[in-house]
Copies of this chain bind each other. A is one copy, B any other.
Amino acid sequence: MNNRLEEIRKQRGIKQEELAAALEVSRQTIGSLENGRYNPSILLAFRIARFFGMSIEEIFIYEEDDRV
């Protein structure tokens, strides 16, 4: 799964650390998501989407062959 996290975060002019604080997760979690090391839990995805005022689908890009 791809995502537009880094792009959206930079549009808003905020740092990984600030986003992490706002979402109450670690900075490493944000970095790991931005660099595709893993996918967010659905709860974190909701919190990210809500923080940016967007839908999950606008931020996280599901690809047909993504397996559970």
Q: Which residues of A contact B (CB under 8 A)?
A: 1, 23-25, 39-47, 50, 55-57, 60, 62, 66-68
Contact = CB atoms under 8 A, between A and B. Distances in A.
B24 A47 contact: no
B66 A43 contact: yes
A43 B39 contact: yes
A2 to B, nearest CB: 12
A62 B39 contact: no
Contact of A57 (B25, B56, B67): B56
A52 to B, nearest CB: 14
B25 A46 contact: no
Contacts of A62: 43, 46-47, 50
